[in-house]
Amino acid sequence: MTIDEATRRHELPGNPPALGSLAETAGRGDAEALVCEFAASLDDRQRADICFDYDHVDSSRGLLRAFTSNHWQVTRPPVCGDFFRPAQQTIIHAIFRALLSADAYPCVLRQLEDDCLGHPWGTDQSVALFGEPASGPFQFVFTGRHITLRVDGGSDLRVAFGGPILYGHTVDCYYERPNHPENICWPEAIAASQWYAALPQEAAARAIVHSIPDEPPLGFRTAIPGLPLAEVDTDNLAAAGDLLARLLARFRDVDRARVRRCLDACGGLRACSIQFSLDGRMSAPHWDNWRLEGPAFIWHWRGFPHAHVWVHVANDPDVAVNAAAGARLFRGQDPLLQRMFRFL
């Protein structure tokens, strides 16, 4: 699916010329300006439901702007419904598009459709705004099943993406078949598996672990198992750099650059280790569960029973993380979960 095809397939209500203009702006990666425009469009009723102080702490989810889960809604109102006006839905879509690379955008649209029983974009996703873009630090958060995206506004330079994020995908069934047919995330695992296959035998053996940690809480640790990248040869280290570039390819330039700045502040890839898990492996010779990890860097790839990818990157190992597994929904919200589990 091309970008133009994806846009037509998920066409939003509103004025098509306005959508084209905003999409063009989003193509330049100006998500922050779009968030400012969105904030200015909100009325008092909308602000009461989706706007929070920058450091708002939720009673069950903690620092809300920094939270992530594999299936959650940050606020109750869906993007597409009666709560937001058509022009506001258009702006939200432009922000969403601005946070993704041109290649990733149509793929993520398909992922959301697959993960939400074919519902149109925005039906099972919600947003929140923390802080006030016109006068201070802010963060915009877009959430749903298998997705957390943020516009941080440059207010917390300690972390990439403004905090931990998650992306994932499941196709047709909760327990996917080996090699994850049509899963948009699976090419990343193939790239990691190919990197592993090129290792010398001794190094490859050191990279294997029985299991990787549970998905959250994603805390940084000092004793990292697996194969230290400082101990691989120049060619394998360069190939690890290519793997990192593959992982970052779904995101906009601004966020890719921030990840690299954070990583460089903590020793770069040479300070990282990589782990390939025997537990959950169903796609041999490929690896379903694996993890690239450094002093303040986690790219946690879980492929069984379907893809969950948890990311936490900072410039300091002491930066805390706020993440939890499972559904975090409001009562009566997102019937997907109940419908999905009928088929397990």
Which pair of tokens denotes residue 41? 């469009």
What's phi and psi for 322, nearest 5 deg? Answer: -135, 95
For residue 134, what is the DSSP state?
A: T
What does pLDDT average to over the chain? Answer: 90
Predicted model pTM? 0.91
DSSP 68-106: E-SEE-SSSS-SSSSSS-HHHHHHHHHHHHHTB-TTHHH
216 three-class SS: coil
pLDDT category, 313, cuts 50, 70, 90? Answer: very high
**pLDDT at residue 309 in the model:** 98
pLDDT category, 14, cuts 50, 70, 90? Answer: very low
Domain ranges of the chain: 3-164, 186-320
End-to-end CA distance of the chain: give it in Å, rounded.
29
**pLDDT at residue 293 in the model:** 98
Per-residue pLDDT tens digits for 197-222: 999 999 999 999 999 999 998 999 99
Burial tier of 28 (Cβ tally within 10 Å: 0-12, 13-18, 19+)? exposed
Per-residue pLDDT tens digits for 294-303: 999 999 999 9
Task: Give residue 58's identity as a one-letter amino acid code.
Answer: D
Q: Is the pLDDT of residue 67 over 70?
A: yes
Which pair of tokens denotes residue 33? 């300006």
Distances (CA, A) of 330 to 63, 99, 210, 321, 334: 17, 26, 37, 22, 8
Distances (CA, A) of 273 to 166, 240, 267: 20, 10, 12
Least reliable range by pLDDT among 7-11, 114-118, 251-255, 272-276:
7-11
Helices (H) and strands (E) in the chain, counts: 11, 17
Least reliable range by pLDDT among 5-9, 56-60, 168-172, 212-216:
5-9
Per-residue pLDDT tens digits for 153-194: 866 789 999 999 999 999 988 999 999 999 999 999 999 999
Residue pair 230/325 in contact by the 8 Å Cβ criterion: no
Per-residue pLDDT tens digits for 123-153: 999 999 999 999 889 999 999 999 999 999 8
Q: How large is the angle between the packed helices 86-98 and 16-27, nearest 10 degrees?
A: 20
Residue pair 153/306 in contact by the 8 Å Cβ criterion: no
C-alpha torsion angle, residues 74, 76, 79, 84 (rounded to 10): -120
**Mean pLDDT, to the nearest integer, of 299-322?**
96
| Rounded-to-integer distance, Cα 289 and Cα 309, Å | 10
Q: How far is CA 58 from the centre of its chain?
A: 21
Which pair of tokens denotes residue 87? 């022009």
Please list the alpha-helical segments (H only) found in 42-200.
44-50, 86-98, 104-115, 186-197
Which pair of tokens denotes residue 292? 């690239």
- If we measure between CA atoms, which residue out of 61, 257, 256, 43 comes closest to residue 141? 61
Per-residue pLDDT tens digits for 273-282: 999 999 999 9
Q: Any idea which residue has 């990197």 for tokens?
A: 195
Rg (CA), the chain: 20
